[in-house]
Amino acid sequence: MTWDDLNGRGAFTALMLFAVGVANFLQGLTALFSADYYAVPAEGLAFAGYVFWGIVLTLWGPLLVVGAYALLKGLDWARGYCAVVAVLNIVAQFAFLAAFPLWSVVVIALDVLVVYGVTTGWPWRGDAPAGAETARGEETAQSGGATAGGRRAPRHAGRGAPAPRAGDRERQETQGGREG
């Protein structure tokens, strides 16, 4: 995915991951410098103390922001990376849940949206832009919409254009022959 093919879902997912990264960074700074802000003392946390969580969340936030940037840039590894860091952040937020329940629940919900966004609704790898001739397109045209494996080509192949039907190419060639 590049800026040319960035769709609403991709932009939304990247922006949600960016928001989660900033939230984690601020959560970490608060844990480091103002631990009394949180609902429970350090002993009430499920794991470690506020200094530990402050360091972890302050370092983890920028890693999430890097994932958002990579997603916007369309880097090949970005979707997998974002899914992994979002799931790990869900686990971390559950461990930090006692400290600030509402904040953690909101961040977990955003993380779930990120995981959903990076795992669904993206173009199939290898789908060509509209008008591009590919071996897959040739197979699709000859088999009446089915690919070599017998599956129908996805509706979104070629940026929303329906898969070519058998006979379309012949009709175009016949019509083109009459004009010239």
CA distance 16 to 19: 5
What's phi and psi for 146, nearest 5 deg?
-95, 145
- At residue 5, the pLDDT reads 56
Spatial neighbors of 143 by CB under 8 A, at least 6 apart, are: 166
pLDDT tens for the chain, 180 residues long, are 444 556 788 889 999 999 999 999 999 999 889 878 887 877 777 778 888 888 999 999 999 999 999 999 988 899 999 999 999 999 999 988 888 889 899 999 999 999 999 998 766 555 545 554 444 444 444 444 444 444 454 554 445 555 556 665 565 666 655 544
- At residue 137, the pLDDT reads 47
Cβ(15)–Cβ(69) below 8 Å? no
Per DSSP, the residues of 32-43 read: HH-GGGSSS-GG
- SS3 of residue 105 by DSSP: helix
Cβ(10)–Cβ(122) below 8 Å? yes
- At residue 169, the pLDDT reads 59
- At residue 110, the pLDDT reads 95
Cβ(82)–Cβ(114) below 8 Å? yes
Distances (CA, A) of 95 to 59, 140, 161, 170: 17, 50, 46, 63
Helices (H) and strands (E) in the chain, counts: 6, 0
- At residue 109, the pLDDT reads 96
